[in-house]
Amino acid sequence: MIGKIDRDILLAHARTIASSGGKAVPEGATELSDLEVCGAAEITAMTRAAAERDGGVLVSSGGTTGTPKLTYLPHHMAFDRLLPVWRPLGVGDVVLNLYDAGRMWGTHYFVQKLAERTESTVIPSGPMTAEELELRLPMLREVGVTALASVPSVLADFAEMVLKTGVKPPVKTIIWMGEAWTESKRELVRQAFPDVQLWGIYGSVETWAMGSNRPGCDETTLHLLADEIFELEDAGALLTRAGEGWTVPVVRYRLGDRIEAARCRCGRGDAFRVLGRADDGFGLLGNYVNIADIVDSARQCPDVVDAQLVLVRDTDLADSARSMTVEYTGTAAPEAVRTWLTGSNVRLGTVDSQHPEAISARRVDRLRRIARTNKTPGAVWQDALGSGS
């Protein structure tokens, strides 16, 4: 477990939110583990009840291939909780908000509220194509953009265009969330902006901000906010938070990520790392493998910069593949990448010995993105005819 909340406070809190849509507290409950795990339905019910009293911002996650998960965010967006420990902007800063504002995605509005609360200037741009960015870089330098906000994939694109054109806005701050850094993306940003400071947030639409990373931290380490607890489980960590001023005062909400406790060079407590999605595995011809493990291994192959998997579905099962292609950027030969992976992963080696045609590697100029968020996924699924998601 990471974090600490007094037991009596926690149980009283659980009873309070049970009356507004949360899970009922079982008779005789004395410990956190006695309380039921809650899900998206409880979050929607609790936040909708609050919005009917005080108003809010309705945002959603999902909705591309499944039913959207709705959260009604209070207009304050819990910034009184966050700003005492995480304040990347101040008076005089100009932040370029490159997050997508469409389809009820929450992160764009997070950056807008951050600029409002820190009395900084915001440019609500949304994502730009390479051509648009090249055209606008002189303007962004002229207006004095000091901060960028987006996912690491988009931030790396911005840095690449700065290096290509030599037109460099006075960026000193990077605000990132939504996906993890890769070494190549972080290095590209630091080449363009050698003295930039990185400020990260870990959260979700359902929970909003849960943890933060700031200059002085290890760049893979985050810290819980005060009055939060993580229960660490392989099926996904459970989040509990108490007190006032949250977007969602949840008890034992199941996250989709696996979390581990960590130490951070900054010395602050309640540090953790995100290991990846709890549902990150898939079956490949009878062998169960992990997407993050394969992608991380591919990135360690000599002359590979970045990688992702393209999986062809074997059946109607969501997590079963008949073949796997590793698409990668860099100068490595495809057969070298394939040999590296089958030699370093026992289960891929087993598949290779029985079905060598099921594993391949392909060099590409650019990895695939999720169109609505500009994130670079670890894996892309396709059906046997080539259409994908």
What local confidence, expressed as pLDDT, does residue 104 receive?
A: 80
**70-277: CATH, from 3.40.50.970, 3.40.50.740, 3.40.50.12780, 3.40.30.10:** 3.40.50.12780
pLDDT tens for 130-161 read: 999 999 999 999 999 999 999 999 999 999 99
**Looking at per-residue confidence, does 386 or 292 come out higher?**
292
User: Considering all CA atoms of the chain, what is the largest pairwise distance in Å, rounded to the nearest integer?
Assistant: 66
Computed over every residue of the chain, the mean pLDDT equals: 92
**Looking at per-residue confidence, does 385 or 219 come out higher?**
219
Domain assignments of the chain as residue spans, ordered by start: 70-277, 281-382
**Does the predicted model carry a pTM greater than 0.85?**
yes
What local confidence, expressed as pLDDT, does residue 268 receive?
A: 94
Give burial (CB, 10 Å; 0-12/13-18/19+) of 291.
buried
- Residue type for position 149: A
Structure tokens at 281: 């595995």
What local confidence, expressed as pLDDT, does residue 252 receive?
A: 94
**281-382: CATH, from 3.10.580.10, 3.40.50.2300, 3.30.70.3290, 3.30.300.30:** 3.30.300.30
Residues linked to residue 315 through DSSP beta bridges, in sequence order: none
Calculate mean pLDDT across residues 89-107. Answer: 91
Q: Model confidence at 228, in pLDDT bands (50, 70, 90)? A: very high
Q: How many Cα atoms within 13 Å fall on the side-chain side of residue 83?
A: 17
pLDDT tens for 32-82 read: 999 999 988 999 999 999 999 999 999 998 655 567 889 999 999 999 999
What percent of the chain clears pLDDT 70, i.e. is strictly above it? 97
Calculate mean pLDDT across residues 319-337. Answer: 95
